[in-house]
């Protein structure tokens, strides 16, 4: 997959919006890979945390929004604890989820969740899951 640089400024409105709502500065990331190396679920992601941040730096808004990484992230903050620049990919992923969910686009339909899981799961897990996947 090839990515083209949109412009030399590399500051899209989308990235500026994500940085504003999360308080994270994606430009600080210098791609050391510590976040991806420590992420317990990066093997399930289309693009690892540092790759998503790099796509954001390059202004590849569509590629970022189409990746499954924001939905797979468990928010354990391992990325933040390992980052020498103090960038939290987990916070960025949360911001990306919020942007999609605020558009009213659910990632998971409630009907798709098996009833035995709904009946047997702890209430807190259900609330957290619905907050993450349903607008």
Q: State whether 94 and 133 are in the same domain.
A: no
| Alpha-helical segments (H) within 74-135 | 78-82, 89-102, 115-120, 123-133
| Domain membership flag for residue 73 | yes
- C-alpha span between 117 and 9 (Å, rounded): 47
| Domain membership flag for residue 6 | no
Q: State whether 112 and 76 are in the same domain.
A: no
Under the banding of pLDDT at 50, 70 and 90, the label for residue 10 is: low
Q: State whether 53 and 96 are in the same domain.
A: yes
Examine the pLDDT at 119 and tell me if it is beyond 90: no
Q: What residue numbers bound the domain in which 64 lies?
A: 13-103
Task: Please indicate whether residue 103 or residue 75 has the higher confidence score (pLDDT).
Answer: 75
Q: State whether 68 and 115 are in the same domain.
A: no
Say if pTM beats, i.e. exceeds, 0.85: no
Q: State whether 93 and 112 are in the same domain.
A: no
Q: State whether 33 and 87 are in the same domain.
A: yes
Under the banding of pLDDT at 50, 70 and 90, the label for residue 134 is: low
Please tell me the predicted confidence (pLDDT) of residue 1.
Answer: 47
Examine the pLDDT at 2 and tell me if it is beyond 60: no
SS3 content of the chain, % helix, strand, coil (to 5): 60, 0, 40
| Domain membership flag for residue 61 | yes
| Domain membership flag for residue 7 | no
| Domain membership flag for residue 4 | no
Domain with 36 in it: what CATH number? 1.10.1060.10
Sorted by sequence, the CB contacts under 8 Å of residue 98 that are 6+ apart come out as 21
Please tell me the predicted confidence (pLDDT) of residue 5.
Answer: 45
> Which phi and psi angles does 62 have, rounded to 5°?
-65, -45
Number of separate domains in the chain: 2
Examine the pLDDT at 25 and tell me if it is beyond 70: yes
Q: State whether 115 and 64 are in the same domain.
A: no
**Mean of the pLDDT values across residues 70-77?**
90
- C-alpha span between 15 and 4 (Å, rounded): 16
Weakest mean pLDDT among 16-20, 64-68, 125-129? 125-129
Q: State whether 33 and 92 are in the same domain.
A: yes
Examine the pLDDT at 121 and tell me if it is beyond 80: no
Do 96 and 18 form a contact (C-beta atoms < 8 A)?
Answer: yes
Dihedral, CA of residue 86, residue 67, residue 18 and residue 21, to nearest 10? -80
Examine the pLDDT at 75 and tell me if it is beyond 70: yes
| Domain membership flag for residue 1 | no
């Amino acid at each position: 997959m090839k990515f083209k640089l949109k412009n030399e400024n590399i500051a899209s409105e989308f990235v500026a919006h994500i940085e504003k709502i999360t308080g994270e500065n994606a430009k600080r990331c210098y791609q050391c890979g510590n976040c991806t190396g420590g992420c317990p679920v990066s093997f399930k992601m289309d693009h690892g945390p540092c790759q998503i941040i790099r796509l954001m730096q390059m202004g590849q808004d569509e590629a970022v929004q189409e990746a499954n990484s924001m939905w797979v992230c468990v928010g354990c903050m391992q990325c933040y604890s390992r980052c020498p620049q103090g960038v939290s990919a987990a916070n960025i992923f949360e911001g990306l989820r919020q942007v999609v969910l605020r558009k009213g686009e659910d990632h998971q339909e409630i009907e798709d969740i098996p009833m035995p899981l709904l009946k047997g799961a702890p209430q807190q897990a259900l609330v957290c899951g619905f907050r993450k996947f349903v607008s």
